[in-house]
Structures are given as structure tokens and as C-alpha cells.
């Protein structure tokens, strides 16, 4: 299953737009912007839909036209914006929509549905189990409430391929009997709220870092979570420490913070258009734009990453060696570095996440190898590019590739410079066209293109 996180923030987002605390200032400065928490599964099933979410989907390049099921956890306004039903009714021919949730939450939606709109209300309570198309959904209790006990729930979702995840927002610390409902589940992914950081005393209906840790430990104790479970913290608020510190704190329990726009593959690699592969992210930008640090941060929560220095070794270039050493020093010790131009081979044999840096140096190495600077014959390089694109599209592990934006408005003075600019532009366009996510870095700021 492919789960797109349309938002990973608390009700007021992170940063809170009215706040100047250190956590909010840091989030803004590092472009760690989080909106209200919600997710889109396989473009078919939604988990919560606050008022910000339709707009977030559009910004992340996702259409909601194919959504057939919406699972609502409760009626708090950041999880349920019933006005989306009115917006949907203005588009004809979308087919039936099943709105699933506690009866109290569904009641707030009824006045937003036109008399002829194909919207079906499916009230559920903790302990229920329903089949929604290819999805087997179990309804679980939440230690949370709007007006009365039981008017908030969580969801346990299993796809047709057997992949299984837990959507656990919002909830406080479960009492011991609640864990019986997930014993032995062995979730592939758990999306678990972590709202208040070190201030979890602010609400018994939400988790802070201490409560998050206890929930994870209790899930592992009953076999709901295992060492291979992807633990993703969502519903993150500005009571948390700055995100760098938060990543470190969550990593202590084997978890990581979710990111808005992130695609999470539940249950291993995804199958899209009949091709088995992992998620592909392309990061491009000018010199010193922050693209390398951004790309490294994307995989910063992974225990093992293969870092591919795609230009190969440069024995006679001490400046290059210093640059490589600086990059190596700031990466986690658990990462493996490969200095090679055989990027297609690495992609085809990948079992761990991969970071390729960068396509510009790889292209330069291939131009050198085929002696294009002297001959002008691009046949061999074009063949290498075709092989790279094929491996990129079929890679079974998550992969991030970094490249340069060369010649943005400046015509190189030499023929070789113009040749390189043109070939890199073609390569970048081809990689971007076959990527799931595309990010442009400008002056240290990340602009999501796709």
C-alpha cells in the first residue's frame, strides 16, 4: 500500500502561525512546515480530512477524484472538515463515497451533502470490522473524546496484499486492556500521534514523548510492533523540541517524525503500473542551494543507507577528496559509501535505501569515459543514460538522487560547457519525469514540484 501523508501536524500545525517560540522559529527556518494530520491510501481511501487537507492534496500533486472511502477518527475540526463534501458535490460523475466514522462525527456531515449526492454514511464503533473494497478495516478504541467516551476511534487497515498499518491519531496512553485488540498484529507501519513533546501533562487525550515511548514499548510487548515496523510520529505540535532534536529523541525508540507530502510504502516495495519498486525522489538545485543536506535529511531516519558518490574516485584531485571527506563526516556512521559510476548496478541490486550524489558528476564521468569532449559522439553516453533510467524506474528500494541545475539563464562560453549543460538538462528532465517526488532547492528553501 502507498500512504501519502497529506499532513503530519497537530490542530494548529507546526509552526503555529501565531507563535514565536523557539520550536516554531526553527520549523520555519528549516522549512519543516506541517499541516493538519491526514493521509491518502492508494488514491482511494482517506484517513481524516480536516479543512486544510483538500488544498494540501492539490499542492502535493494528488487528486482526490478517485477517493471512495473516508475514515474519520472523530469530529474535532482538524480531523473533519465536512465542507469538503460540498466541494466534491460540484464535480459530477465521481461515483459513490462511503463516509465511515463514529455516529456523532457523521452527524456533523449530513447537512453538507446534497439530496442527489452518492454519499453513504457508515457509522462504526470500537470493535467493529468492515470491508471497504480491497481494505479490511478494524475499528479500535482511542483514549480521546469530543463530547463523550467512544466518539473517537482509531483504525487498523489491511490491504489486499496483506500489508497492514495502524492509524493511531488522536489518542492518549491506552489502558492495558486496549492492547489486547492489537496483540500479534505485527504491523508493517504504525502512524502514532506525538503531540506535546515533554509537555504530555497538558492532555490525557494526547501523547507526548514519554507517552509515545510507553505506547511503543507496550505494542512491542504484545507483538503489535516488531523490529521491522516503521514507526512514524504524526500529529506533531510546537510543544515538541526543534525537529533535529525530535528526530534524535524518536530514534531512541526506533521511530521517526513523518513529513508532509511523504509517501510511505506499507509492507515493503510498492507495485505501480505493474512495476515493483521503491519510492523515488529527485532533488535538484543550484550550487550551495542546500540540496545535499536536504537529500541527506530525507533518509536521516533510516538505519542503513548506501551513499553513492556517483563520480567515482578522483585520485589526482585533493580538493575533491576534501569535499568527499566533509560529506562523509556529517553522515551517520551506519551509512555505507560507494565511490562508483556503476549507478545502474547499485540500483538493481539495492536492498537498503540509496542516496545518489550527484547525477552531474556521474554524467561528467560518462562523458569522460566515452571521450565525448574530443569526438562529440554521444551514442555511448545516451546508452548509459537509458540504462540508468531503466534501473531508476525498477529499483526496489527507496532512492534519492541529487543533481544540479546548470546554465539557468547563462549560456556557457565553451562548446564543451554547452554540451554538458544540454545533456544534464535532458537527464534531469528524464529523471524528474519518472520520479514520485521532485524537489527544487533555492537559497536553502525546498520547493515541492511534485
pLDDT band per the 50, 70, 90 thresholds, residue 200? confident
Q: What was the pLDDT predicted at 335?
A: 87
Cα separations in angstroms, 36 against 85, 131, 267, 382, 393:
18, 27, 25, 45, 32
Q: What was the pLDDT predicted at 163?
A: 93
Q: How far is Cα 287 from Cα 289, in angstroms, rounded to an integer?
A: 5
- Please report how many Cα atoms fall inside a 13 Å half-sphere around the Cα of residue 257, on the Cβ side: 31
Mean pLDDT of 372-390: 92
* 305 has pLDDT over 60: yes
Mean pLDDT of 296-316: 78
Q: Which domains can be identified in the chain, with CATH numbers?
A: 2-265 (3.60.15.10), 280-448 (3.40.50.300)
Q: What was the pLDDT predicted at 269?
A: 43
Residues in CB range of 374: below 8 A, 6 or more apart = none
pLDDT in tens, 400-441: 999 998 877 677 778 888 899 999 999 999 999 888 888 898
Q: What was the pLDDT predicted at 298?
A: 82
* 201 has pLDDT over 60: yes
* 35 has pLDDT over 80: yes
Q: What was the pLDDT predicted at 274?
A: 33
pLDDT in tens, 239-290: 999 988 998 899 899 899 998 988 888 985 433 333 345 688 999 998 888 8
The mean predicted confidence, pLDDT, of the chain is 90
Q: How far is Cα 312 from Cα 16, in angstroms, rounded to an integer?
A: 45
Task: Select from 186, 248, 235 the least CA-distant residue to 5.
Answer: 235
Task: Using alpha carbons only, give the angle 7, 13, 15 rounded to the nearest 5 degrees.
Answer: 120
Q: How far is Cα 448 from Cα 290, in angstroms, rounded to an integer?
A: 14
Q: What was the pLDDT predicted at 279?
A: 81
Which of 187-196, 353-362, 367-376, 409-418 is most confident? 187-196
Catalytic residues: 327
Q: What was the pLDDT predicted at 29?
A: 85
Is the separation of the CB atoms in 156 and 198 below 8 Å? no
Q: Where are the alpha helices (DSSP H) in 90-192?
A: 103-107
Q: What was the pLDDT predicted at 278?
A: 67
pLDDT band per the 50, 70, 90 thresholds, residue 385? very high
pLDDT in tens, 52-81: 999 999 998 899 999 999 999 999 999 999
Q: How far is Cα 63 from Cα 299, in angstroms, rounded to an integer?
A: 26
Q: What are phi and psi of 370, to 5 degrees?
A: -90, 5
Q: What was the pLDDT predicted at 444?
A: 82
Mean pLDDT of 385-391: 94
pLDDT in tens, 137-186: 999 999 999 999 999 999 999 999 899 999 999 999 999 999 999 999 99
Other CB atoms within 10 Å distance of the CB of residue 203:
15
Task: Give the predicted TM-score (pTM) of the model.
Answer: 0.68
Q: Which of 169-173, 312-316, 353-357 has the lowest mean pLDDT?
A: 312-316
Q: What was the pLDDT predicted at 343?
A: 94
Amino acid at each position: 500500500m502507498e500512504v501519502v501523508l497529506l499532513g503530519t501536524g497537530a490542530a494548529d500545525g507546526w509552526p503555529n502561525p501565531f507563535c514565536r517560540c523557539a520550536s516554531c522559529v526553527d520549523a520555519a527556518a528549516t522549512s519543516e512546515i506541517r499541516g493538519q494530520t491526514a493521509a491518502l491510501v492508494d488514491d482511494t481511501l482517506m484517513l481524516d480530512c480536516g479543512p486544510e487537507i483538500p488544498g494540501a492534496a492539490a499542492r502535493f500533486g494528488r487528486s482526490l477524484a478517485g477517493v471512495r472511502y473516508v475514515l474519520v477518527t472523530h469530529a474535532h475540526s482538524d480531523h473533519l472538515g465536512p465542507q469538503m463534501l460540498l466541494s466534491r458535490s460540484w464535480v459530477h460523475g465521481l461515483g459513490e463515497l462511503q463516509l465511515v466514522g463514529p455516529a456523532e462525527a457523521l452527524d456533523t456531515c449530513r447537512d453538507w451533502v446534497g439530496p442527489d449526492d452518492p454519499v453513504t454514511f457508515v457509522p462504526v464503533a470500537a470493535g467493529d470490522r468492515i470491508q471497504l473494497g480491497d481494505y479490511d478495516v478494524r475499528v479500535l478504541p482511542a483514549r480521546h473524546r469530543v463530547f463523550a467516551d467512544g466518539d473517537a476511534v482509531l483504525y487498523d487497515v489491511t490491504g489486499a496484499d496483506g500489508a497492514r498499518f495502524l492509524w493511531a491519531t488522536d489518542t492518549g496512553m491506552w489502558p492495558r486492556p486496549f492492547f489486547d485488540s492489537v496483540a500479534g498484529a505485527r504491523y508493517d507501519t504504525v502512524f502514532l500521534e506525538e503531540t506535546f513533546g515533554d509537555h504530555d501533562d497538558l492532555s490525557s487525550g494526547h501523547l507526548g514523548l514519554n507517552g509515545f515511548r510507553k505506547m511503543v514499548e507496550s505494542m512491542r510487548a504484545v507483538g503489535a510492533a516488531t523490529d521491522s515496523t516503521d514507526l512514524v510520529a504524526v500529529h506533531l505540535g510546537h510543544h515538541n523540541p526543534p525537529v533535529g532534536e525530535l528526530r534524535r529523541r524518536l530514534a531512541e525508540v526506533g521511530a521517526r517524525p513523518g513529513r508532509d507530502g511523504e509517501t510511505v510504502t506499507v509492507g515493503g516495495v510498492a507495485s505501480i503500473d505493474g512495476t515493483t519498486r521503491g519510492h523515488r525522489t529527485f532533488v535538484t538545485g543550484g550550487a550551495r542551494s542546500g540540496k545535499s543536506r536536504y537529500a541527506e535529511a530525507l533518509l536521516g531516519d533510516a538505519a542503513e543507507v548506501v551513499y553513492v558518490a556517483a563520480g567515482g574516485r578522483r585520485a589526482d584531485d585533493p580538493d575533491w577528496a576534501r569535499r568527499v571527506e566533509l560529506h562523509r563526516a556529517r553522515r551517520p556512521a551506519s551509512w555505507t559509501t560507494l565511490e562508483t559510476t556503476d549507478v545502474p548496478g547499485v540500483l538493481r541490486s539495492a536492498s537498503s535505501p540509496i542516496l545518489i550524489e550527484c547525477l552531474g558528476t556521474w554524467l561528467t564521468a560518462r562523458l569522460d569515459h566515452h571521450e565525448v569532449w574530443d569526438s562529440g559522439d554521444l551514442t555511448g553516453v545516451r546508452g548509459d543514460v537509458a540504462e540508468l533510467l531503466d534501473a531508476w524506474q525498477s529499483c526496489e528500494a527507496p532512492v534519492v538522487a541529487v543533481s544540479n541545475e546548470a546554465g539557468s539563464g547563462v549560456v556557457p562560453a565553451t562548446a564543451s560547457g554547452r554540451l554538458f549543460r544540454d545533456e544534464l538538462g535532458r537527464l534531469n528532465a528524464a529523471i524528474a519525469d519518472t520520479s514520485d517526488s521532485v524537489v527544487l532547492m533555492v537559497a536553502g528553501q525546498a520547493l515541492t514540484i511534485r
